[in-house]
Structure 1
Amino acid sequence: MLSQFTRLYALIVLFACLIIYLFNQLYHNVVDSGTNYQIDIEQVFQESKNTEVDIIATSSIALPSNLQQELSSGRVIQLVDDQQKHYFYQKNAQGQLLRYGPIDKQFIAQDEDGFYLIIMFYSALAILVLSFIWPLFRDLSRLQKSALQFGQHIDSLNTGIKANSNIYPLAKTFEKMSHQISASVKMHQDLSRTIAHEIRTPLARMKFLSEIVAKDIASEHRQRLVKDVQEIEQLMAEYLSFERLEHDQVMADKQLHNVDDFFAEIADKFSYQKHGFDIAFHSTAAQAYFDQPAMARALQNLINNAIRYAQNTISVQLHIEDGLCQLTVADDGPGVGKEAYKLIQPFIRKQQAGGEKTGFGLGLYIVRKIMIWHQGHVELTNCEQLQGAKISLVWPNKA
């Protein structure tokens, strides 16, 4: 905002000075006849009867070569003595050195007062222009800061812009918009919490009843019921995570962590799941900077995503190169297609062979949000070694 203000201010002052200069020239050339007269100094030397012109010896003054050349060519030169008296010199046709003077400085520099008046005038003009446009840019800067604050934390805002400001209508519209968006987000959060709470109760009853009737129904129906209950639980967990992350604009609290300990903690969580996959963890770096709770959530989402599509093997690797951490999860599943970038958008699900879609399209989006917190990004490619999908998280290795 400051650069825009500087450019506009300089442009206005430049145009104002140009207009005043042109008007001043027009006034002096057309309107002002003037009362002051100027006399060419060469005319003074040509007047043979001028008593103020003296003939002096050329050797009486020492001049540098450039001034001597000026005299030799017949031009007039001006010199000032220790008493600030001005003298004019010229050589006549006979080679004699003529001197005119002394002349007081006030008769020569009589335009200095006018120069200072011009400086004062243009300074006053600049201050006048500043007084007009500075309040506008001050209010715009305040509105910009409010917009940035609103982007970091969605809440009703009061810009504090006064009613006499030129952008007061814009500020009031912005405040009204912030109130509406804040109310909408709060309603959405309340609705999400309510739905989650209301679903948990019947879901708990379903799990309890499924255990009671498990021995009375066929194994395939029992497995289907358990799978449906787990699917609902997963949907709830992903949706609540999505709802929290969607409105959070935070910076990751990156600390230096031991990578092997971090991998051991994640491996321990998946050791209790009966997924039947070989999950291999490997790191070439002993330590790395990351937000452990957020990165644990991201890595678990990636591993859960790989479990859905892998056939036998899942590989988790971390290495640091050129100051960047790269955490990669690869599998031996079908891989990703040409539109892989869409999978990191919310509610975009991968379609398996046969037209069936799996998941709820939130896991990778949550991973992307966590990478934004880490000032990093997500890369989706195919793994040459395992011939499946390869998802890489890349972020700066610094606090």
Structure 2
Amino acid sequence: MLRSLFRLYLIVVIGGGLAITFVNTSFSQLFHERVTQTERGADRTYAFVLEDYLQRHAGPERAAALADLNKHGSDGFRLMTTDEVEPLVGKRQWRELRDGKLVLDVDTTNYYLPLPDGIVVSARRSESTTVEIQTLAYVLLGLATLLSVVVWVHYHWRELRKLEAAARAFGSGNLSTRAQLSKKSNIYELSQQFNEMARQIEASILHQREMMHGISHELKTPLARLEFGLALLQSPESPERQRERHMALRKDVRELDELVTELLTLSRLEQGDGHLVPMQVSVDELVDSVAASMSNDVADRSLTLSVSTAGMSAAVGAAGTAAARAPVSRTPIVQPPTYHVCDPKLVARALLNLLRNSTRYAQQAISLSAAVGAAGALVLIVEDDGPGIPLAERARVFEPFYRLDASRDRHTGGFGLGLAIVWRVALVHGGDVRLEEAASGGARFVMTLPALPLPVPAKESVPRDAVHRG
């Protein structure tokens, strides 16, 4: 604190000294006319007495009279002609001198009083203060400045110590620490930035902890089943029973593989848009390919999937085919775009996750539709006629490993990563996804994807003679 105080005080002293020097050297010239008017008003009586005294001592007696005056003061009276005064004053002052007015020189240190007979009396201006008084005034000014700086630095330093204590507590592991400063503080905005940074770091660390906890739980269950299955293989059983054991083990291995794949996808998406491969795709083909890949799952659950694009629908029924075409019961309000720039693999993955989520809860029907949003954005809507999601739970369904089913049954809840991947796919595209209530009371997911800029293709080098050969 002492070093900071010394530096600040040194800067203030140097700045104040430069200001005083500028005032003493430049103000007399900048305000020369005003100083002259003030001097004329203040010395009016003195100039009248001096002029009358010298008029009564004309001729040779005038020099002796000035010598007597110099013995009784330090004004330094002397007689000069107007020609001698001219180089010492400005043109304006010289004209005023010839008009019989008292004038000051350029530095305002001497004044010149013209007499009626053309002689000019020169004398030094009297200073109202002495060097000792000026020195005392400067010392008091320095002390007052020092006191002001100490008060300011003490308040500022106290606020910095609060921020330092908060940073130290946060760094020691107390993630809920926040800097509590007054809004009048000079570093209040800095403390708010610190609090925002601390909040984001705390949220990120807590998210990572929850992720690790969820990953550990998800990996532990299939690993335990694998271990139990391997132990059962050691017991003597019939060949049919052994084949069943092998099939169960392969199923557990596939489950582990799917979980790892989901985790890797989620990890890449959390790194931002560095893995995006934007390209122009046909919306109809994209939606139809996703619907076709879900035909078996839809048929296994005796559901109906309606796909709406360009005002027509493809009905995928319990038979699991898309051959039968039928009018859509609910057509999009706005014509969907024919083409859209996005990462088709990620968008298809997000749609598959939404449809798989709907197949777990739908009772009879699922619909997938495309429409145009603001500024040409692609709006993809997936809704079902299931029981829906309570309003209090809607804000958390996009969190990793979050399931509405408290029993964590994979038949209804999966791994809890599908909707988290959907949310991050929308995020890396610069869009969003929201959960609403469908007209049938089920869940309605609306994903909005703004159009991405197409990557600039690298220019291929063409041989110079190719043009002539072509």
TM-score, structure 1 normalization:
0.48
TM-score, structure 2 normalization:
0.42
- Greater C-alpha radius of gyration: 2
Larger relative contact order (CA 8 Å, sep ≥ 6):
1
